[in-house]
Structure 1
Amino acid sequence: MTADAGTYLYAVAGDSGTPVPEGLTGVAGTPVRAVRASGLVAYVSTVSLDEFGEEPLSRSMEDLDWLDATARAHHHVVEAVAAESPAVPVRLVTVYSGDEQVLALLEERGDDFGEALSRVAGRREWGVKVYAEPDDQAAEPAEQGGGAATGPGAAYLKRRQAGLRSREEAWRRAAARAERVHDVLASIAVASRRHRAQDPQLSGRKEWMVLNGAYLVDDDRAEEFARAVDDLRAQGGELELTGPWAPYSFATLDEGVAP
């Protein structure tokens, strides 16, 4: 490997001797290859440090088009690996100076990877988002009679206060529903996590996101999980089910893997 090249790491799996899927390419169109040690296999690419070095990355991470393309390529490799065997996905743009560092990682943290792989074996991650429509009608109630007696300013303040109370009540109802949804789904999953709700600019929706949950589900309970989502959706409100995915939320190591 040349001095101007680095090793990009996608995921780590148990080494069963399975070859890298033929023709698999990753970020920047680079071919994916395997680095093996300690009964583990790391799926990597050789990348140019002109693009993936520290300084270029600090600029590229501000480029949403570049970030989207890189994330899609990274995810494509992780999914291809996870389709063959349990895998620990590595966070986006984890780049090492060379294969020697990756080999050292596998040797030094072999037990940690083994525990993570055992945790996700035979399981996949599902995502569920719950949305609620803001109660715009109640937020601006119609003006009641008697406004002239109290003055237009006082009448406006009353409407404003009533609107705020109504909006808060709508939010409480939506949050309570999200809790019920999460409790039901978590009872089926072997593990669950609640991620931060996405900003409407990222979700592309005007509704409130009141739940952004991730659920690690045994493969033989996947249909049961999907039916539970359908049943909850039928009770009202909007639920969005995504997956199954590689277990990004559950296969990470406690302290990450990047130097």
Structure 2
Amino acid sequence: MAQTATTFLYVYGICAATDIGETEKPELKGIGGGPVKISMYNDLAAVLTEVDGEVFCQEQIDRQVKDADWLKKHAFHHHETVAFFQLQFPLMPMSFCTIFEQDNKLQTLLTNQHDDIMRKLDYLRGKEEWNIKMFCSPELLRDFVQHKNPSVVSLEQEMGAMPKGKQFLMKKKLAMLVETELEREKNELWLQAITRLEPMMTAQLLRQNWGRDMTDVTEEMVANCDVLIKKEDDDKFFKAIESIEEDMKEKGCLFHVTGPWPPYHFSKLEKDNAQ
């Protein structure tokens, strides 16, 4: 591939050459304005586009990602391009702004990690990534704990038989117990949910919860989890989510499920950026 001294390669994803077949290769505009190409590297192929090395060097990227508008625009483009090709054939998506200064650096990575890439592609074949966010109403869950949690109810009953003076001292202990049981209940609810979903899952990755300032719901986020499931299990997966939500509605639980996403969180290489 002929390149100028300042031309870099922006890589969206890697696939097996045999999976491309007669796939239609539409004219898509790349992140730098040039066309998106599928370049062959023996039995592997890379979905990529050429970019200006002066614009997409590491120093410039580090500066540009601090610009929220630039980041949103280009990250969305990256995702849309990956998602498009993911529908055409199994694709191992690369991280946003995976850039190689030279074609031979990309070739070296594909050669050195060939077997790992092939194993991952085979593992990801026929699977989808979904994100599950579990929320609970603080008010409903607290009400449940205060009135139906065995430990809390037991302590309240004990307090009822105590002299007034001792009851006053035990109120602090009760308040602390309620908070402890609230956290335990949240963890137990998520454990119950994920256990019921496990038969449909081949992998899961628990991520950091978001605060209410980052969500559009009043409920508190209890879990934020990426899961990998077989496409054929989609219906069972969603029916299980609906059933779990119904069973937990007394405690104010609800689930937000988004996807399918390209398997970003289940296809990482040891090193996928060789700029």
Aligned position for 2:56: 52
Where structure 1 has 5 or more consecutive residues not aligned to the other structure, the ranges are: 142-148
Is residue 227 of structure 1 aligned with residue 243 of structure 2? no
Contact 2:7 2:53 in 1 (8 A): yes
The TM-score with structure 2 as length reference comes to 0.79
Is residue 251 of structure 1 aligned with residue 267 of structure 2? yes
Change (3 A) 1:219 1:137: closer
Contact 2:10 2:50 in 1 (8 A): yes
1:95-106 alignment runs, 5 A limit: 95-106=99-110
Change (3 A) 1:137 1:195: closer
1:99-138 alignment runs, 5 A limit: 99-135=103-139
What is the alpha-carbon root mean square deviation over aligned residues? 2.7
Aligned position for 1:182: 194
Aligned position for 1:85: 89
Higher fraction of helix: 2
Aligned position for 1:6: 8
Change (3 A) 1:92 1:138: same
Contact 2:32 2:50 in 1 (8 A): no
Where structure 2 has 5 or more consecutive residues not aligned to the other structure, the ranges are: 147-163
- Tell me how many residue pairs correspond in the alignment: 245
Offset of residue 84 of structure 1:
1.3
Contact 1:182 1:213 in 2 (8 A): no
Q: Among 211, 215, 239, which residue is 2:223 paired with?
A: 211
Deviations 1:42-87 (A, max 9, x none): 1111112333211111111111221111111111111111111111
Aligned position for 2:17: 15
Offset of residue 178 of structure 1:
1.1
Cα distance in 2 for residues equivalent to 1:10 and 1:40: 14
Contact 1:135 1:170 in 2 (8 A): no
Cα distance in 1 for residues equivalent to 2:5 and 2:121: 33
Cα distance in 2 for residues equivalent to 1:219 and 1:239: 20
The TM-score with structure 1 as length reference comes to 0.84
Aligned position for 2:75: 71
Cα distance in 1 for residues equivalent to 2:208 and 2:44: 32
Give secondary structure in 1 for the equivalent of 2:50.
Answer: strand
1:142-181 alignment runs, 5 A limit: 165-181=177-193
Change (3 A) 1:173 1:23: same
